[in-house]
Amino acid sequence: MNRKTVKRAALATAAVLALGAAGAYLYLDTTSGIRRTGSENCADVIPAGADRADGEAICATLDALTDAWARGDADAYGRQFTEDGTYTTYVGSHYEGRADITEGHRALFRDFVKGSKLAASYLDLRFLGKDAAILTGRGDDYTGTKPALAELSKVQTYTLVRDTDGAWRIAAFHNTQRQNVMERFSFLYSPATTPEAEK
C-alpha cells in the first residue's frame, strides 16, 4: 500500500469517526430534555403545613432579587443577602459577604449581564426549622424573549434564613450550569443514576 492510499484511508476513518461523534452528540443533546421543569410561581412550592406567611416572605425575597437584577440595581440585589452571605456562580466564582456580592454584581450589571433579566422556575421549598429554608429551582439570565422553563440551563440552590430584623434573606446561593449532554450520557450509561422525577 502506498503512502497516498494510507493517508486517504486515515482521513476517511477520521471523517467517519468525527461524523459518528457529532451524531452521538446531537442525539444526546436532542434527547436530554428535563421532565420536571418546576413552577414559575414560587408560591406553588410552599409545602402543605408550612407557615404560609413565611413561604410568601421567602418568595418575596426572590421576587425582589429578580426585580433588582432587571433594574441593574446592585445595592437592592445585595440587600437580599445576609451580611455574611455567600454566592457561588456557575463558573466557580465565590463571593463572601453582602459587600462582595454587591460589588461583584455592580460590575456584572455594567458589563456582562447589562440589560438582562432573570427567568426562574421553582422546584422545591423545604423548611429546616422555623428560621431556615432551602429553595431549589432552575434559572437563567436572558435578553429578548424569555426562555421556556424547559430551556433554563442552571440549577440553583438558595439557603434562606430569618435575619436579625425578621426578614428572610439569602445566606448562601449556589448556581450550577446544567451539562445536559453529559447528564443524558450518564443516565444512558447508568440508568440507576436518573433522578426519580426524570424517569
| 0.85 surpassed by pTM | no
What are the angstrom distances between the C-alpha of 62 and each of 7, 49, 129, 158? 60, 21, 20, 9
Q: What is the pLDDT of residue 11?
A: 74
Q: What is the pLDDT of residue 134?
A: 98
Which residue, 32, 31, 30, 62, is CA-closest to 45? 62
What are φ and ψ of residue 121, in 5° steps? -135, 150
Q: What is the pLDDT of residue 27?
A: 60
CB 44 within 8 A of CB 59: no
Residues of the chain with confidence (pLDDT) below 50: none
pLDDT in tens, 13-34: 777 777 776 676 666 566 566 7
How far is it, in rounded angstroms, from Cα 49 to Cα 62?
Answer: 21
SS3 136: strand
Which residue, 69, 42, 73, is CA-closest to 168? 42
